[in-house]
């Protein structure tokens, strides 16, 4: 079983692990960490690599810590509308945006309170789009040390350098910015459509990630 942290429309490295492993377990325990892909994802706009960030309500304990599965989204800011408008502007000319638009947009039409639940929903929608099975197994306790061959929790960190071998594919603004690797799964989905799964199966991630 491979262990992954639920992230916000996770990147290609995450989904390459997801499709190449039969059993996935969601890590929902432990403490929330800032500056990670738990509440942010990268896409490509006309200005280049762009980050979408979900605002978080920081209501930790006396030490400022929050459990991962208890983190709340700050909906006092209209981030739903901003994120969708940015996605629409960035990908409306991509080959498959209109094909998947009706699947993705409802996530931004509703208010979501719990970050982890929302992240899992974004992954579930991608699974529906690609006709993949959505895993339901979740951790019950937090274990600091896991088998390095099954522990992919590090992929949620922005600080870790991921050794990813992926082929270039045509991106909307590739003529301006060149190929930008390891963006959100949305970039791959909108550009490759049904070929996304085959692409992910060919993408290689280094195993020595301890």
pLDDT along the chain (210 residues), means of 10: 95 96 92 92 97 87 77 95 98 98 97 96 98 95 82 87 91 97 98 98 73
| Token representation of residue 206 | 């280094």
Domain membership flag for residue 210: no
E strands within 64-196?
Answer: 72-73, 164-165
| Token representation of residue 85 | 């408008």
- Give the whole-angstrom CA distance, residue 120 versus residue 14: 13
CA dist 54 → 5, 13, 18, 130 (Å): 16, 20, 23, 24
109 membership: H or E segment, kind and range: helix 106-109
Instruction: Provide the residue range defining the domain that includes 196.
Output: 2-205
116 membership: H or E segment, kind and range: helix 115-130
The partner residues of 56 in beta bridges, in order of sequence, read 73
Domain membership flag for residue 69: yes
Torsions phi, psi for 110 (to 5 deg): -120, 160
The partner residues of 73 in beta bridges, in order of sequence, read 56
- Give the whole-angstrom CA distance, residue 37 versus residue 20: 21
**Helix (H, G, I), strand (E, B), or coil: what is residue 49?**
strand
- Give the whole-angstrom CA distance, residue 186 versus residue 190: 6
Which residue from 42, 9, 38 is spatially nearest to 157, judged by alpha carbons?
38
- Give the whole-angstrom CA distance, residue 58 versus residue 113: 13
Residue-level pLDDT at 200: 98
Q: pTM of this prediction? A: 0.93
Tell me how crowded residue 120 is: count the other CB atoms within 10 A of its CB.
19
Domain membership flag for residue 24: yes
Residue spans of alpha helices (H) in the chain: 12-20, 79-91, 97-104, 106-109, 115-130, 174-177, 185-192, 196-202
Domain membership flag for residue 78: yes
Domain membership flag for residue 68: yes
Residue-level pLDDT at 149: 78
Domain membership flag for residue 154: yes
Cβ(42)–Cβ(11) below 8 Å: yes
Residue-level pLDDT at 209: 46
Domain membership flag for residue 99: yes
Residue-level pLDDT at 70: 92
Domain count, the chain: 1
Domain membership flag for residue 60: yes
């Amino acid at each position: 079983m491979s262990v992954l942290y639920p992230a916000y429309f996770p990147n290609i490295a995450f989904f390459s692990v997801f499709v190449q492993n039969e059993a996935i377990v969601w890590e929902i325990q432990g403490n929330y960490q800032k500056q990670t892909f738990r509440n942010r994802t990268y896409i490509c706009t006309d200005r280049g690599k762009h980050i979408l960030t979900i605002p978080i309500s920081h209501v930790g304990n006396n030490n400022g810590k929050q459990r991962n599965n208890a983190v709340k989204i700050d909906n006092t800011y209209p981030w739903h509308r901003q994120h969708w408008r940015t996605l629409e502007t960035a990908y409306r000319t991509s080959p498959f945006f209109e094909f998947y638009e009706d699947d993705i947009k409802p996530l931004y039409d509703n208010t979501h309170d719990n970050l982890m639940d929302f992240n899992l929903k974004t992954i579930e929608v991608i699974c529906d789009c690609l006709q993949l099975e959505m895993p339901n197994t979740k951790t019950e306790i937090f274990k600091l040390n896991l088998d390095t061959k099954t522990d992919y929790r590090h992929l949620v960190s922005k600080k870790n350098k991921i050794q990813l071998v992926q082929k270039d594919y045509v991106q909307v603004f590739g003529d301006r910015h060149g190929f930008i690797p390891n963006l959100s799964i949305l970039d791959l989905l909108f550009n490759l459509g049904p070929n996304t799964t085959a692409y992910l199966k060919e993408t290689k991630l280094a195993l020595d990630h301890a």
